[in-house]
Amino acid sequence: MMLTEVLLLLILVGLLVNLFSSKNPKGLPPGPREYPVIGSAAIQHLEDARRYRQQYGDIFRTKMGALRIVYLCTPKLIREAFSKPELADRPSKEAFHWMTEGRETGVIMTNGQRWQNARRFLLRNLRDLGMGKSRLDSAIQTEALALVQDFKKHQGVQDKFPNSLNVAVLNIIWQLVANRRYEVDDEEISEFLKLLSSSQEDVAAVFFLPEIFPILKHLPEFLKRRLMAKDKMDAMMKAAKNFMQKFVTSHRENLDPDNPKDLIDEYLVEMDKHTDMAAYFSEEDLMKNIVDLFGAGFDTTSKTLRWLMLYVAAHPEVQTKVQDEIDSVVERGTLPCNTDRPKLPYLEATIHEVLRCCPIAPLGVFHSAATDTELGGYTIPKDAVSVLGRPSLGTNSSFSLQPSSRPSPLPLLLVGKLTSPQERFPSVI
């Protein structure tokens, strides 16, 4: 009974605070009706975004509790918005830093000099280690061969994609980060992948609630543990830290500053030099950067591969053309490599089409308004979150050459070359 009374009192206080303190700024983009405390009807499915765009136009807003979200649904709006310094920040939300108990770390959800230093360091060193270059071909080929062998074990069996697909993708990133490779059926790395997946789901479902309803931050500790699964999140945070710490400690003990082997070594060397770039470096920040790299590279790549295999299986005529093109370019007994890519336009067009039909990151990465900002004839209020309305772009006739959900690589090909006009493929960043 006491618990119910406390909750009712908190809700009443929240309603009163909201009613007397919140006023909508003038010039807001259109959107569904907003109500005190709860906000407006939220976008729960991709179809909701398409419906709202038809109803409200190329720029519209919703509100979830205290969190105002503005959706940008044309490439022109997206580029204009993200070229404005006022809309370049990431939201300052503790939930995005669950692994460090709200402390700002890493590269994806940070701002200012910390973000600039992390981004510059990661890009420079990942390129030096082979990212985007032919030097990484052998690692990719090794994982491809391992996947083929593992897939053969599941031949003729109706089942989900095996976990080996996730491990193979992670191995390529892990080689750059920690100079380590796992077998595709390794239990340790499989458990870590489950942890990453679970953390993303739980953060979205539970840990983000106090950002939507800030009054929840003031709940007594016992209520947080009961209502928001805080014990589970604490255990998840501890497991993630322990996994990462093991590799950081091992690298620290075996570090040769004159011969860094991987990204962890490079980070530790830079941190020990106390350079300007390393002003925000710490072992905690290093671990969060590793998690960010996995989130940006592993999850998106593995999902893309799944959708690609699904679509070519559903459309065997496309699969046949892809295979014929590969056979005509790559000699029997050899594996495709990075230098073959310009000679495989149909394969690349197929990948682009799958990404159009099923955008892997449909809302991109959240941006936040540092101040009230004019965009598209409307005012984006301070602290509003801006996201991409890609769900309404990919199958929209004003954006795509093929306005349907059926993949067709042919419209993207011109005189045997892939044509990818920038206005059709806005960045998800």
Give the whole-angstrom CA distance, residue 184 versus residue 205. 30
Q: Which residue type does 85 have? A: P
Say what the pLDDT of residue 70 is: 93
**How many C-beta atoms lie closer than 10 Å to residue 414's C-beta?**
10
Give the whole-angstrom CA distance, residue 398 versus residue 255. 54
User: CB neighbours of 343 closer than 8 A, spacing ≥ 6?
Assistant: 329
Say how many Å lie between the first and final Cα of the chain, rounded.
47
Give the whole-angstrom CA distance, residue 200 versus residue 295. 9
User: CB neighbours of 365 closer than 8 A, spacing ≥ 6?
Assistant: 90, 108, 109, 428, 429
Give the whole-angstrom CA distance, residue 134 versus residue 145. 17
Q: Which residue has the tokens 């700002």?
A: 104
How do the domains of the chain map onto residue ranges? 106-291
Longest dimension (CA), the chain: 74
User: CB neighbours of 325 closer than 8 A, spacing ≥ 6?
Assistant: 344, 345, 346, 347
Say what the pLDDT of residue 215 is: 79
E strands in 113-204: none
Which CATH number describes the domain made up of 106-291? 1.10.630.10
Say what the pLDDT of residue 429 is: 46
Say what the pLDDT of residue 45 is: 74
Cβ contact 387:70 at 8 Å: yes
Buried b (16+ CB within 10 A) or exposed e, 278-292: bebbebbbbbbbbbb
Give the whole-angstrom CA distance, residue 428 versus residue 296. 11
Give the whole-angstrom CA distance, residue 197 versus residue 191. 10
Cβ contact 172:147 at 8 Å: no
Q: How far is CA 238 from CA 37, 210, 211, 295, in A?
A: 33, 21, 22, 18
**Mean pLDDT per segment of 10 residues, for the chain of length 429 residues?**
58 58 74 85 78 92 90 88 89 81 88 94 91 81 93 86 90 91 86 71 65 80 72 78 91 95 96 93 94 83 90 90 94 90 89 80 84 93 82 45 48 56 48
Q: Which phi-psi region, left, alpha or beta, contains residue 27 (left: φ > 0; alpha: ψ -120 to 50)?
A: left
Give the whole-angstrom CA distance, residue 215 versus residue 64. 14
The bridge status of strand 385-388 relative to strand 67-72 is: parallel
Give the whole-angstrom CA distance, residue 331 versus residue 422. 33
Say what the pLDDT of residue 327 is: 95
The bridge status of strand 67-72 relative to strand 59-64 is: antiparallel
Q: Can you read off the two tokens belonging to residue 153?
A: 């074990």
Say what the pLDDT of residue 48 is: 84
| 29 DSSP 8-state letter | P
Give the whole-angstrom CA distance, residue 89 versus residue 144. 38
Say what the pLDDT of residue 188 is: 82
Q: Which residue has the tokens 């009374």?
A: 5
